[in-house]
């Protein structure tokens, strides 16, 4: 059943709906347009999943969060007020909040949590050094996982999801200056974490000085 639906989803024509904005498609979805539902699922699901996976570092959990966020979108669709917010901004905010809730639950369960460390820049890069396969993407994911929640969210939204600072401010419900601060601190922390792995990550020693 699922595989059949997936094949159908990938092969069925999408008419000319792919040029329409998320907001227009959501309005059509609310009117019962099944083509709009397909386009929205194809367009939004991978993005939401990718963002959740970056924040959580766990694929299964990320799928749960992405599914929950999309379910909330479908439920609010009939009451969606055009022009009030972008669909993606709203979705990313929901994912961010869901992930934050899960992190808090993790912290309650764990005796100690990395997020409670005072400042990641102080952390030794030993955690990354334990990686058996020092793939750059894996190293980045591992480093991102060590950032405090808000820094990780800001860095991922800005540098991986490609959002603008005002968009991130809307998603995180903070000011633009706070976004800039979180992003800068997050990048400094990433640099500190990854620096010890520079050679393992395959960067050349062009910086060597005689």
Give me the residues that bind other proteins (CB under 8 A), please.
1-7, 9-10, 29-34, 37-38, 40-42, 45-47, 49-50, 53, 63, 66-67, 70-71, 74-75, 77-78, 136-137, 140, 155, 159-162, 187, 190-191, 194-196, 198-199, 203, 205, 207-210
Torsion of CA 32, 33, 35, 41, to 10 degrees: -50
Q: Which is nearer to other proteins, 82 or 113 (CB)?
A: 82
CB nearer to other proteins: pick between 12 and 113? 12
Q: Rounded to the nearest whole angstrom, what is the least distance from the CB of residue 109 to other proteins in the complex? A: 26
The structure tokens 């997050």 sit at: 186
Under a CB-based contact definition with an 8 Å cutoff, are residues 149 and 182 in contact? no
User: Could you give phi then psi for residue 111, rounded to 5 degrees?
Assistant: -70, -45
Cβ 209 to other proteins, closest distance in Å? Answer: 5
CB of 66 to other proteins, least distance (A): 8
Residue keyed to tokens 């979805």: 29
Q: Rounded distance, CA 125 to CA 148, Å?
A: 15
CB of 97 to other proteins, least distance (A): 19
Q: How far is the CB of 4 from other proteins (least distance, A)?
A: 8
d(C-alpha 202, C-alpha 210), whole Å: 21
Cβ 147 vs Cβ 123: under 8 Å: no
Structure tokens at 101: 């809730």
By beta-carbon proximity to other proteins, the closer residue of 3 and 111 is 3
State the Cα torsion 149-152-157-158 to the nearest 10°. Answer: 130
Closest CA to 186 of 207, 157, 161: 157
Sign of CA dihedral 114, 119, 121, 124: negative
Nearest approach in angstroms of CB 134 to other proteins is: 13
SS3 label, residue 46 = helix
Q: Which is nearer to other proteins, 72 or 106 (CB)?
A: 72
Report the residue number, 93 or 188, with the smaller CB distance to other proteins. Answer: 188
């Amino acid at each position: 059943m699922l595989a059949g639906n997936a094949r159908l989803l990938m092969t069925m024509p999408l008419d000319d709906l792919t040029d329409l904005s998320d907001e227009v498609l959501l309005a059509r979805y609310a009117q019962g347009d099944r083509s709009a539902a397909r386009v929205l699922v194809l367009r939004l699901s991978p993005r939401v999943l990718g963002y959740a996976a970056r924040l959580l570092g766990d694929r299964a959990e990320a799928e749960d969060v992405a599914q929950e966020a999309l379910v909330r979108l479908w439920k609010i669709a009939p009451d969606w007020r055009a022009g009030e917010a972008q669909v993606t901004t709203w979705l990313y905010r929901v994912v961010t909040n869901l992930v934050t809730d899960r992190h808090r639950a993790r912290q309650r369960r764990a005796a100690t949590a990395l997020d409670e460390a005072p400042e990641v820049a102080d952390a030794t890069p030993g955690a990354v050094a334990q990686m058996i396969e020092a793939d750059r993407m894996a190293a980045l994911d591992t480093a991102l996982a060590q950032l405090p929640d808000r820094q990780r969210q800001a860095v991922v939204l800005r540098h991986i999801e490609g959002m603008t600072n005002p968009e991130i401010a809307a998603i995180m419900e903070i000011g633009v200056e706070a976004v800039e601060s979180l992003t800068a601190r997050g990048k400094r922390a990433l640099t500190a974490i990854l620096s010890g792995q520079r050679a393992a990550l395959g960067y050349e020693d062009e910086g060597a000085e005689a």
